[in-house]
Amino acid sequence: MPAPTDPLYPLQWHFPMLGDIETIWADYSGAGVKVGIYDDGIDYLHEDLAVNYDASLHVVNDSNNPVDPFPVGPADGHGTAVAGLIGAAMNGTGSVGVAHGATLTGVNVFNAGVYGFINAVDMNPFMNVMQQGVKFDVINNSWGRTPDYYPYDYEPTLDAIYSDLVATGRGGFGTVIVQSAGNNSIDSNGSVANASRFTATIAATLSGQAAWYSNHGTSILVAAPAAAFTTDRTDDADNLLSLISVPLYSTPSFVDIDDDGDLDVVVGTDPGALHTFINTGTSFVQATGAANPFNGITGLTAPSFVDLDGDGRADLVSGAANGQLRSFRNEGAGVFTALTGADNPFNGVDIGSYSTPSFADIDGDGDMDALLGNQSGGLLTFFNNGSGVFTQAIGGANPFNGLIVEGFSTPAFVDIDLDGDMDAVVGSQNGTLRTYLNNGAGVFTVATGAANPFNGFDVGRFSAPTFADIDDDGDMDAVVGEEFGTLYVLFNDGTGAFTSQSRFGYSDGEYTSRFGGTSASAPVTSGVVALMLEANPDLGWRDVQNILANSATFVGSAYTATVAGANENGVWQSNSAANWNGGGMHIHTNYGYGTVNAYNAVRMAEVWSLFGEAQTSQNEIEASGSAVFNVNATSAIAGGVTRTIDIIENVFIDHVALTLDFTGYIWDLFITLTSPDGTSLVVSDRAGDSSWGVAWPWTFGIDHLRGELSAGTWTLNIIDRNTSRSDFIRDAKLDIYGSSYSPDTVHHITDEFMTMVGFDPARSQIVEADGGRDWLNLAAVTEQIELFLNDTGGSLALGGVAAASLQGAFENAVGGDSNDGIYGNSFANEFHGGRGDDIIVGRDGADRLFGGRGHDVLYGGADDDNLEGGDGNDTLRGGAGDDVIDGGDGNDTAVFTGTANTFVDLRITTEQNTGHGLDRLVGIENILASAGNDHLIGNAANNILNGGSGHDSLSGGEGNDDLHGGTGDDVLEGGTGNDILRGGAGSDTALFTGAVNTVADLRTTAAQDTGHGVDRLFGIENLFSGEGDDWLIGSGAANLLSGGEGNDSLSGLLGDDTLEGGVGDDLMIGGAGTDTALFTGAIDTVVDLRKTGPQNTNHGLDTLRSIENVTSDAGADLLIGNNGANVLNAGAGDDVLRGGRGDDTLIGGLGNDILSGGPGADVFIFDTGLGPANVDVILDFTVLLDRIGLGAAIFDVLPFGGLAATAFASLTAGENATADHRIIYAFDLGDLFYDSDGEGGVAAVKFAQLDAGLALSHTDFFVF
């Protein structure tokens, strides 16, 4: 999908860290998923939230009245920011939420005056509103207590409510609870909510590393970016600068860049680039690329503008991280030229680090002096001698000598007290502003308390002031940069009093870039969960946690690092699962299984239900075991005290709860737990931090053993890191939660597979050794997949590179988004192609093949297969067996190959014998057959029917059909609609049926209105029409035109054509070539080719022109030729044939016919079964001119060609035939006999009557 047009979207840096979320957004937005945000309320009137907000889901109080969650105080912007990260609308305005179509509802639990206040003395209202969370699909808790291991009374009750929510929410699938890990930079396990198996506890990352403040530990499921840009409480005023944001440490300065008379803003950043924003009068628009005059200049952090050369234009002097100053001459028209060497008046000046210049006439001599801040917090003065030469004032000569702020001093000048001289305002690391008033003589005195107009103003950290008339009222307003790259505005009322806008939330305006913490990482995750639940509403709450874990990706330090990276508390390791990327799952105390990946998570969610029933509270199982310590850990040896716990039950692990019963100081203990498979986890490592003594059990949550099995010996080791105080351990218990063991293994493969193989080459062998029906889940793979299975293993290639060998029997697989190839074995496979144009082959076995999205090719192979194409234009081939072939959406083709005759009727959606099995076709638009004489019938859709080789019959039916006859003599009937009929090789027939006036012209391949639709005819030789008054026109080929009933006009044109008018008054014009008029049916046909006008043929008043031949059917026919060389073929019946002049061929056919050749060399044909009912009379046989043709199929003892002399006998009365005689002429009577065996036992059969006394010889006969 196109990128969102919301203006803050490019600044929402967390999105690229979530994988290819724009691809996910093409299908999902979180629509229909209800997210409850328990926080300090939501500004539900916000322009980016209102469209997704559902007030009908507000919780109610004890009186059943809805509780309004609108924020109470101005500072209550936390929940609004959280809501925006989850579900800000994609509407071209402001920011975008991860699930921008999800339903949002707020629950205010942080205002004392609101029902449900979390810190109330009476906790019942809070527990009540938490219980009402059952109405939500997802609950986001961007809050929690400090994990100090104190057993607060409310926590067991809250955990019990969470247990109910996951058991009963979403109709039993469970409400998903997303919990912030907290921002204390300690182990998250010290909070019951964080350690609970019912919550998905989320840590935070910044710039791909662990956030310095984020809690960590074995209870962390995954990490997510601490997103900053989101919705904020709507302010009363409109600050045009509120949407300006740069990466970090904004240091603004104003200058007219584009010479249009208004002030533009240039903002420095710590990365060392200057960002230019052009003032349009109604907004500030960032100038990028070549439009930014400082594009490509690096190292500049603090811009200031002053006329160095007296040309009336403001030149640039910028500080830098290295403490030096760089100068640029303003050439006009927005062009700045660097001044180097002696041309730079500050060449060689180095004041330490992070120089920040500002300019004013400090000494009152009429020129602009320089005041420089730096990292140490000092202020250095450089006086201008009037010629652009600046000299540092040392000691007492510096009016700011000894005036030190808290570091990173950033000065600016403005006439605060309106006395005509320039006072100094200085920002610092602590985020406040100090004012130094000028007495007019260059002496500056700090203004404190109320005398400082900025007293009490605090931007957080690293304040960087500058001044400009923002509101065009003639006085100078303050614009202040800060650590996170945004700008604050304080308006001057004209008397030197500065007032901030009426701010609500975090920043001026309706959006902020100052949000963060695990408060931000949780809603990012909740948004991903909403996308997952839209993709698959049938996920159990345990499924959601497992998907988040399996789909998470690397972040932070390298996997192979042996030393913790920045802000980390451990290194990456793999647990001992065997089904993730060829081995165990990567885990880290700071990141859990890694950072949330929306693409991976949603793709896995789509297919997760294939792998088994939803994992909910109802089917969760537990295994437990315990160990007795009764030892003072303080007195234990250096290696600590170790106990083992044996677990008999085999649970496929989701979560492990370790409960330790002790008296002492929990933060003294270094606790490790080792699973039966050998994964060793540090459960607690506070290294002797101070804490209060406790005397109660504490339960640690361990989420990092997913995919392992519980049965076996667990090892628990505890070391006391503080031997100065007593820590007595009584016992420990393990409660292991998860699913029943099953040999049906799901192997999850992601794009990290090759990376993991690089770390551990053994992962390149994916082993399946425990039987069952197993899955290869490649749904999250973006590269092209080539999977080949055989009965003992197989191979896997990713992106065209060999990735893994498979060992063992694998049955099922799910593909990804690319154009994948999946090939099965002899087992009953189930394959899902996913997206992309996939090739899926089941081979032997009763397979289930699903194409998914894309234009897929599915081939079932042997046995009874089930093929479903899904979306896209798919090609499905069932193969042998009784198959179900379901095309799904799109324009789909069923393929039938081999030599069998295929019979398919797409109108039938139940079983039909296709010649390849008892197949069921659903959602199929097209058929492709192969060898064989096929019979294919379409339906009301636009069908493509392809007969392939063989003599095929294709009928399109309704719709705009495309019929391909292929090789062979085919019959194509388009039916209604605008059809294309392609005859291909062979003598092919277009069939038009029904009481429609058909008009068809074989001379053109262009579209023509045939009366049945606007059709196109290619490679068609013959036309058959129905009951209408038809007009059929041939081409240059030998055409057969059959009009059927109705008064038809048939025109053969070129070629040797056959014209059948049928019943009705027809006009038959043969045209050039030797053409035949055909009359069929049991009708006494009467045709006289000498007539060119209408004649009663007994089929109608027909007109025959340019017709040379006549063929009739059953009936007592009278066929008369003309002066041409006619072929008269009467068929069955006692017929009369008169050739007339010309060399005619007369074929009496069955029956006792009378044949008269007339003048000319005529041929009389005998090729039908002999007998007394089939004796023809030849009235005018002329020896040596006429000839008699004998069909070899009837006269079967005679060889082809001329009749041998010995085979013929002309006998008079009393003469006997010899054994060689086969054709015998009775000279006296004129009878003509066929004797198949000479003097044998079979009597001669009379087949013709000629005149007696003819001088017949063998030369008057031929065999054909």
Taking Cα atoms as reference points, which of 1193, 1170, 1180, 1182 lies closest to residue 1243?
A: 1170
CA 2 to centroid of chain Cα atoms: 14
- All residues at 6 or more sequence positions from 345 whose CB lies less than 8 Å from its CB, including other chains: 308, 327, 339, 388, 389, 390
Please give the Cα distance from 696 to 754 (Å, whole number). 47
Taking Cα atoms as reference points, which of 1018, 1036, 1040, 1034 lies closest to residue 964?
A: 1018
Please give the Cα distance from 1056 to 1107 (Å, whole number). 10
Please give the Cα distance from 1135 to 838 (Å, whole number). 65
Radius of gyration of the chain (CA): 48
- Note whether 597 and 604 are within 8 A (CB): no
Residue showing tokens 């935070």:
204
Q: Where are the beta strands (DSSP E) in 675-711?
A: 680-685, 697-702
CB atoms within 10 A of CB 308: 25
Residue showing tokens 């072929």:
1127
Strands 511-512, 230-231: pairing is: antiparallel
Taking Cα atoms as reference points, which of 150, 143, 148, 151 lies closest to residue 108?
A: 143
Positions in the chain short of pLDDT 70: 235-248, 460, 484-486, 500-504, 507-508, 636, 686-695, 1241
Please give the Cα distance from 330 to 16 (Å, whole number). 38
Residue showing tokens 């093929």:
867
Phi, psi for residue 753 in degrees, rounded to 5: -55, -50
User: Coil, strand or helix: which one is 1207?
Assistant: helix
Q: Where are the beta strands (DSSP E) in 882-1013?
A: 884-886, 893-895, 903-905, 911-913, 918-922, 926-928, 935-937, 944-946, 953-955, 962-964, 971-973, 980-982, 989-991, 999-1001, 1008-1009
The encoded tokens of residue 307 equal: 């006329």
Task: Give the pLDDT of residue 118.
Answer: 95
Please give the Cα distance from 830 to 507 (Å, whole number). 54
Fold that domain 9-234+513-556+591-610 belongs to in CATH: Rossmann fold (3.40.50)
CATH of domain 621-740: 2.60.120.260
Task: Give the burial string for 813-838 (b: 16+ CB within 10 Å, else e).
Answer: bbbbbbbbbbbbbbbbbbbbbbbbbb
What amino acid is encoded at 498 in this protein?
F
Task: Give the burial string for 562-599 (b: 16+ CB within 10 Å, else e).
Answer: eebbebbbbbbbbbbbbbbbbbbbbbbbbbbbbbbbbb
- Note whether 583 and 762 are within 8 A (CB): yes
Task: State the Cα angle at 1139 between 1134 and 1143, rounded to 5°.
Answer: 135
Which uninterrupted H or E stretch holds 512? strand 511-512
Runs of H (alpha helix) within 192-244: 192-195
Taking Cα atoms as reference points, which of 512, 525, 514, 528 lies closest to residue 231?
A: 512
Q: DSSP state, 271?
A: T
What amino acid is encoded at 1177 in this protein?
V
Please give the Cα distance from 321 to 1211 (Å, whole number). 132
Per-residue pLDDT reduced to its tens digit, 584-601: 999 999 999 999 999 999
Taking Cα atoms as reference points, which of 425, 399, 401 lies closest to residue 413?
A: 425
Taking Cα atoms as reference points, which of 545, 508, 856 lies closest to residue 707?
A: 545
The encoded tokens of residue 646 equal: 């044996």
Q: DSSP state, 134?
A: G
The encoded tokens of residue 1187 equal: 């000839």
The encoded tokens of residue 1087 equal: 């045709």
- Note whether 653 and 709 are within 8 A (CB): yes
Taking Cα atoms as reference points, which of 994, 1044, 995 lies closest to residue 1022?
A: 1044
Task: Give the pLDDT of residue 390.
Answer: 86
Strands 1076-1078, 1058-1060: pairing is: parallel
User: Coil, strand or helix: which one is 608?
Assistant: helix
Could you give the C-alpha distances from 1206 to 508, 1190, 1192, in angstroms and in order?
Answer: 122, 16, 17
What amino acid is encoded at 227 in this protein?
A
Q: DSSP state, 520?
A: H
- Note whether 817 and 798 are within 8 A (CB): no
Give 703-759 as a 3 state SS string: CCCCCCECCEEEEEEEEECCCCCCCEEEEEEEEEEEEECCCCCEEECCCCHHHHHHH
Task: Give the pLDDT of residue 688.
Answer: 43
Could you give the C-alpha distances from 897 to 828, 849, 924, 927, 964, in angstroms and in order?
Answer: 22, 18, 16, 11, 15
Strand order in the sheet with 651-663: 621-632, 728-740, 651-663, 697-702
Domain ranges of the chain: 9-234+513-556+591-610, 241-354, 363-508, 621-740, 1122-1263
Task: State the Cα angle at 579 between 573 and 581, rounded to 5°.
Answer: 65
Please give the Cα distance from 439 to 358 (Å, whole number). 19
Fold that domain 1122-1263 belongs to in CATH: Alkaline Protease, subunit P, domain 1 (2.150.10)
Task: Give the burial string for 355-376 (b: 16+ CB within 10 Å, else e).
Answer: bbbbbbbbbeeebbbbbbbbbe
- Note whether 1046 and 1060 are within 8 A (CB): no
- All residues at 6 or more sequence positions from 79 whose CB lies less than 8 Å from its CB, including other chains: 37, 39, 40, 41, 42, 69, 71, 106, 108, 110, 142
User: Coil, strand or helix: which one is 487?
Assistant: strand
The residues annotated with a catalytic role in the active site are 39, 78, 519
What's the start-to-end Cα distance of the chain, in Å? 73
By CB atoms closer than 10 A (0-12, 13-18, 19+), residue 769 is: exposed
